[in-house]
Structure 1
Amino acid sequence: MEQPRRDPVGIVGVGNMGGAMAARLLEAGWPVQVCDIDLHRVRLLELQGAQVRHTAAQCATGVAVLIVCVVDSPQVDTVLFGPAGAASVLRAGQDVLLCPTIAPQDTERFAARLLEQGVCVIDAPMSGGPARARDGSMSLMLAGGGAVIDRRRELIAALSDKVFRISARPGDGARSKLVNNLLAGINLVGAAEAIALAERLGLDAASTLALIGQSSGQSWIGSDRMQRAIAGDFEPRAHMTLLEKDTRLALQAAAAAGFEGPLGAAAHAVFARACAAGLAQRDDGALLQLLRQPPVS
């Protein structure tokens, strides 16, 4: 049976998450063009059928949707509005999915600037990690006009079977993601602390984690990260710097809303400490390494 025609998609940023999304779309028959400063990742996707583009503007040329999957607001700004940025070629009728975890006000600013030239933005943060992005089971938090989300429903369905429509206001996806990631950070710090304590008490870490996984202390991120950490696998699926950034942004959003909770700042301080201790480019499960160390007297 002949596959239905699918509109071309561009993806700028094909790291762990963007690369997994690109591979999934290629496997499903979508025409995909990719751009990234990491040429090795680009070449791997080229072998799977992606078209390689060398600038964001080239990647945005001729596509129906441009997916931006970089790390932070300065990178988004460069991708969209820097030299050879995508905004120089984007036109009415093309849409942009903004997937990074960034400050809500930055999402609002980017969306407003693109709307001036008739380009609609779907604020679309992701959660779940590369494996879930690859198999389509990651979460997508969508904020944007109903018309543009409906227009791209086939692409969205190809990317995720866990889609949450937050509101029509770009920026609310970012707010939702920060709330989620603040809790993820708190849970991960708690899991690392618990396993480090178990080891100090003479308990077997793997057995303790298995017990927690079937008990009231379970969290998905704790089980996922601590399983790898106990095995000594600290290769980054999610760099320590990401939750340091995300918890910091969540605290900034909380302060702007006049809210102060008891745990967020403490969790952020642990991620900041881990980065300062040389673990910035390790998997965020390397918190276990940090908390295994005896306190400095």
Structure 2
Amino acid sequence: MLHFSQYFLTQKNANVVGRGLKLVDAPVSGGVKRASEGTLTIMASGTDEALTCTGSVLSALSEKLYVIRGGCGAGSGVKMINQLLAGVHIASGAEAMALGARLGLNTRMLFDFVKNSGGTSWMFENRVPHMLDNDYTPYSALDIFVKDLGIVTRESSSLKVPLHIATVAHQLFLAGSAAGWGRQDDAGVVKVYETLTGVKVEGKLPVLKKEVVLQSLPPEWPLDPIDDIHRLNQSNSKTLVVLDDDPTGTQTVHDIEVLTEWSVESLVEKLRKKPKCFFILTNSRSLSSEKASALIKDICGNLSVAAKSVENIDYTVVLRGDSTLRGHFPEEADAVVSLLDSDWLVPAGDTEFARDASFGYKSSNLREWVEEKTRGRIPASSVSSISINLLREGGPDAVCDTLCNLQKGSTCIVNAASERDMAVFSAGMIQAELRGKSFLCRTAASFVSTRIGIIPKAPILPKDLGINKERKGGLIVVGSYVPKTTKQVEELKLQCGHFLKKLEVSVDKLAMKSLEEREEEINRVAEMANLFLGASKDTLIMTSRELITGKSM
């Protein structure tokens, strides 16, 4: 939507009125995202008759609709003042961060301080993270402020009002556009300072030695909460229902049943047994966000119906996702509501998992990750946190008190660095449930075992399965392409290569070629695998290591 000067619209209105037409001046604020959601802020001006004619349309597009008195053009006057402030805030934020970088300050620490002090602004909190991440995806292009601040300076000149700060900000955006950054995000104005001074505002989190970080933490809570968890679970009638988005989620539990279908009848049968926990394998990670959301709604709808058919039953839903933050968040959580790398700690946003084609992300701070994945619906500043200090110094009672003080619908993250930390949280969570609190959990696999008090077992050996010493062929299937999996495959080949038979499936043929070539490749691998297994040979079937993306296809 275009933004015109107030003088231009006043003149244009005089022209159209003479032709029997009505003109409404209705500039907006909120960007493309809020426009698509119908949640814009609109500043409308014009005659009462013109505004009445367009009121329903403007209401449909807006969350806040302001009627600005003063005739057609007054709305653009308000918009002009808003853009003056917005542009100045972005430019001054860039200037402040560049100075901080030149002083040798940690720019992420500096940002965190300023946003919690009197020097902050909405634009500062929204745009500086783009500068810190060196990410100039154009949510709002720099050239927009070249235009809008140009309107501001021209209007002020005609009105004989000196605007020193806005004029300097306009020159900064002009310099950025002249350097070729006009179509990048307006936060890119910081590059003007970076070019002039040679500093970098970008503040990537450092890769830290895991041992050093863990030693810097307070000692673990001294008491093992496992007995408390068992005792509390005896009093807590809630069944833990784990919706598992991938077949690997049961790896941390044992003696727990897994459902692969979720009819009301099956769920009623399961709930009547009053189990402490059961899994439902959704495999939703392989689906699109829309299909995953629909699937979770279907399961939770059936679960709700089934629970009403069983006396004295209640449940807590756990959405079991990937420990590296891949998966459908917040889509699956919304659906329910509506019905460490070797010895180094790498910031999550810098890992290969953050670059995942389907579930990628940029944030390493979980609060910021929530804001990123919810597209701003849940601001980072509103996300509560159970700190590791609270877990290790306050114990389960402190966890319970914190959870009970959360507002309904809150989002809370948990900072745990060990199994004991998770057990402390689990004990506190059960206490809170016994006080009447309800929770929806999005977790990795290991939370489930601590929540229901399962003591880990050692890896199962052949003798535990009743397998005799006669050698049989084993089948290993590897599909993940990420570097960590590739390293594991290479280690497997190194240690077992002298007896391991290896078959590589061409992803290119499966995804890119004709149906005939696809079937031929599948049959080739299946026949060879049958041959090797029939000869009692351990067999590895792995996909080719290149990544095939939607763009490739």
TM-score tier, shorter chain, comes to 0.5 to 0.7
Q: Does 1:142 align with 2:44?
A: yes
Name the structure 2 match of 1:270. 172
Give the TM-score of the pair, scaled to structure 1. 0.62
Q: Indicate which of 154, 163, 179 corresponds to 2:65.
A: 163
State whether residues 176 and 191 of structure 2, in contact with CA within 8 Å, keep that contact through their aligned partners in structure 1.
Answer: no
Q: Indicate which of 240, 246, 253 corresponds to 2:142.
A: 240
Q: Indicate which of 195, 201, 211 corresponds to 2:113.
A: 211
CA deviations over 1:119-146 (Å, ceiling 9, x no partner) = 2111011112222223333221111011
Name the structure 2 match of 1:19. none
CA deviations over 1:50-95 (Å, ceiling 9, x no partner) = xxxxxxxxxxxxxxxxxxx3xxxxxxxxxxxxxxxxxxxxxxxxxx
- Bigger Cα Rg: 2
| Amino acid across the alignment from 2:28 | M
Q: CA deviation at 1:293?
A: 2.3
Name the structure 2 match of 1:8. none
Name the structure 2 match of 1:131. 33
Q: Does 1:256 align with 2:158?
A: yes
Please give the residue correspondences for 1:1-297 in structure 2 after superposition, counting only pairs within 5 Å.
Answer: 69=1, 100-295=2-197
Residues 138, 206 of structure 1: alpha-carbon distance in 2 compared, 3 angstrom cutoff? farther
| Amino acid across the alignment from 1:145 | T
State whether residues 115 and 125 of structure 2, in contact with CA within 8 Å, keep that contact through their aligned partners in structure 1.
Answer: yes
Q: CA deviation at 1:206?
A: 2.5
Counterparts of 2:63 and 2:125, CA distance in 1 = 22
Q: CA deviation at 1:168?
A: 4.6
Give the secondary structure class of the aligned counterpart of 1:293: helix
Q: CA deviation at 1:252?
A: 1.1
Counterparts of 1:289 and 1:261, CA distance in 2 = 24
Q: CA deviation at 1:192?
A: 0.6
Runs (4 or more) in structure 1 with deviation over 6 Å come to: none
Residues 243, 108 of structure 1: alpha-carbon distance in 2 compared, 3 angstrom cutoff? same
State whether residues 153 and 163 of structure 2, in contact with CA within 8 Å, keep that contact through their aligned partners in structure 1.
Answer: no
Residues 249, 207 of structure 1: alpha-carbon distance in 2 compared, 3 angstrom cutoff? same
5+ long unaligned stretches in structure 2: 199-553
Counterparts of 1:148 and 1:164, CA distance in 2 = 15
State whether residues 136 and 159 of structure 1, in contact with CA within 8 Å, keep that contact through their aligned partners in structure 2.
Answer: yes
State whether residues 146 and 168 of structure 1, in contact with CA within 8 Å, keep that contact through their aligned partners in structure 2.
Answer: no
Q: Considering Cα pairs closer than 8 Å and 6+ residues apart, tell me whether 1 or 2 has the greater RCO.
A: 1
5+ long unaligned stretches in structure 1: 1-68, 70-99
Give the secondary structure class of the aligned counterpart of 1:152: helix
CA deviations over 1:22-48 (Å, ceiling 9, x no partner) = xxxxxxxxxxxxxxxxxxxxxxxxxxx
Percent identical pairs in the alignment equals 26
Residues 268, 160 of structure 1: alpha-carbon distance in 2 compared, 3 angstrom cutoff? same
Give the TM-score of the pair, scaled to structure 2. 0.34
**Structure 1 vs Structure 2 CA RMSD:** 1.9
CA deviations over 1:208-260 (Å, ceiling 9, x no partner) = 22222221111112221221222121121222111011111111111111211
Q: CA deviation at 1:184?
A: 1.0
